[in-house]
Amino acid sequence: MPPADAPADRHAFLPGGRPPLEVVRTEGCYLVTPDGRRILDAAGGAIVSNVGHGRREVADAVGRALGEVDYVVPPFLTDSRRRLVERLQDRWLPPGITRCVFTSGGSESVDSAIRVARQHFVSRGEPDRWKVIGRDLSYHGVTLATLAVAGHEKRRKGMDPLLTEHPKAPACYPLRCSLCSGTCDLGCAEAIRTEIERAGPETVAAVIVEPVGGSTAGALTPPDGYLPRVAEICREYGVLLIADEVMSGFGRTGARFAVDHWQVVPDILVGGKGLSGGYAPMGGVFCREEVVAPIAEAGDEVMFFTYAAHPASCAAAHAVLDIMEREQLVERAAEMGAVLRERLARLEGHPHVAEVRGRGLLQAVEIVRDKQTLEPFPASDRTTARIVGRGIGEGVFFYPGGSGRAQDVIVMGPPLTITPDQIDQIATALEKAIDATLA
């Protein structure tokens, strides 16, 4: 029995808010609450559950792996890591990306990618290269290094004294772009060149981008020439390109990785979320041989996290990727993404929907007060939070997003197993939630 004076929100970390939504079971595309309500998970959790919930075979694979090896120091090899690495190298990673190291999630992976980029240059005898050029609307994680290279106003709030200053280029944000006069000539990509020049090319180690954006500004999707141009600029200056695909990777956008849409192979590719589909904490850093070779030649090591490459996580990821392949879920993400876009198209005429955007099953709507001027609602209205709350009332969980000039965005990233009927339910609930909130 809880003590009589226990606060109603005793399970929340911060006092005073509403008690968290309780979920007692997850199955398929649904979250089940204690009173038996089934909520359609249009966000796949935090855009994680690529193969959907309740896959018994993943739980069984994790159980088997733990029965064989519960833990070893991460540099040791286990059967579950061997099988995962081989699957990634043989069937998932872009050509030329051969080296894999694992972590417990997205932030740890991006943090490690930054360290690898830095170690690469230190080992090569270029210790002045340390800056990582990020973009003004981006998210790369919640460690201090990943917050520092990202441009997520809300999540950086109050942290500035703790964050090393890295240059920021404007994100590629076609809806509000003022970088090109008239037709697009990729001013946003050229802005990265400007930042490299301004910082001093001999001080820049890497450029980090989310090839398709996540929740910060809502599935920002660049024009076709953007990523190839950014890769070209990086090559020109001898700067490493880090593609953060923690959210967009492992099939989410209808390709194995979002970079594949544009046949760009980054120097370092970062994954998380969909890699293990939420069944175990997992992230990965995947590198070209040329990136890590100097580190090895210098006799240095890349320090691990204690739970890196944990057998449970490797087994979960291996089983999840097996399902992805067997059920052709990458292809399905592209197909169902087209259905989702078609069903959301009617929202494009909505007076408060500025844009529907995204790729595959990573899509978002941006909400504004004035569609002509793109003026947002006052921040104090908490428009996004209220729409998401109404969505739950309508039986659908949407992912709240938005930061900076993209203040209010509702993001969708359902399991890649979603059906057309469930997509109908998502589109209907979203329209109702927007209308009820803004009425």
Nearest CB to ligand PLP, comparing residues 23 and 46: 46
Integer Cα distance of 100 and 269 in angstroms? 10
Q: Are 276 and 391 in contact (CB under 8 A)?
A: no
Q: Give, for 234, the enclosing helix (H) or strand (E).
A: helix 226-237
Query: By CB under 6 A, is residue 107 in contact with ligand PLP?
Result: yes
- Segment near ligand PLP (CB under 6 A), from 63-71, 242-250, 293-301, 316-324? 242-250
Q: Which residue is nearest to ligand PLP (CB)?
A: 106
Which of 74, 211, 266, 272 touches ligand PLP by CB under 6 A?
272
Which of 31, 40, 84, 110 touches ligand PLP by CB under 6 A?
110
Query: By CB under 6 A, is residue 74 in contact with ligand PLP?
Result: no
Q: Strand 268-271 vs strand 240-244: parallel, antiparallel, or unpaired?
A: parallel
Query: By CB under 6 A, is residue 134 in contact with ligand PLP?
Result: no
Smallest gap from residue 285 Cβ to ligand PLP (A)? 12
Query: By CB under 6 A, is residue 214 in contact with ligand PLP?
Result: yes
Label residue 63 exposed, middle or buried (CB < 10 Å: 0-12, 13-18, 19+). exposed
- Segment near ligand PLP (CB under 6 A), from 23-31, 82-90, 106-114, 365-373? 106-114
Distance, C-alpha 389 to centroid of its chain: 22
Query: By CB under 6 A, is residue 247 in contact with ligand PLP?
Result: yes
Label residue 383 exposed, middle or buried (CB < 10 Å: 0-12, 13-18, 19+). buried
- Segment near ligand PLP (CB under 6 A), from 240-248, 340-348, 397-405, 416-424? 240-248
Residues in binding contact with ligand PLP, number by CB under 6 A:
14
158 backbone dihedrals φ, ψ, rounded to 5° = 80, -10
Distances (CA, A) of 369 to 298, 381, 412, 439: 56, 11, 21, 12
Closest alpha carbon to 218 in 85, 334, 363:
363
Closest alpha carbon to 323 in 419, 413, 416, 423:
416
198 backbone dihedrals φ, ψ, rounded to 5° = -65, -40
Which of 42, 171, 246, 362 touches ligand PLP by CB under 6 A?
246
Q: Strand 204-209 vs strand 131-135: parallel, antiparallel, or unpaired?
A: parallel
Which of 118, 129, 140, 343 touches ligand PLP by CB under 6 A?
140
- Segment near ligand PLP (CB under 6 A), from 74-82, 99-107, 307-315, 390-398? 99-107
Query: By CB under 6 A, is residue 106 in contact with ligand PLP?
Result: yes
Integer Cα distance of 248 and 219 in angstroms? 9
Which of 41, 195, 244, 366 touches ligand PLP by CB under 6 A?
244
Query: By CB under 6 A, is residue 151 in contact with ligand PLP?
Result: no
Nearest CB to ligand PLP, comparing residues 246 and 255: 246
Query: By CB under 6 A, is residue 149 in contact with ligand PLP?
Result: no
366: which DSSP letter? E
Integer Cα distance of 222 and 214 in angstroms? 12
- Segment near ligand PLP (CB under 6 A), from 71-79, 101-109, 312-320, 406-414? 101-109
Which of 210, 355, 394, 408 touches ligand PLP by CB under 6 A?
210
Smallest gap from residue 150 Cβ to ligand PLP (A)? 8
> Structure tokens of 234?
């990086």
Which residues contact ligand PLP by CB under 6 A? 46, 105-107, 110, 139-141, 210, 214, 244, 246-247, 272
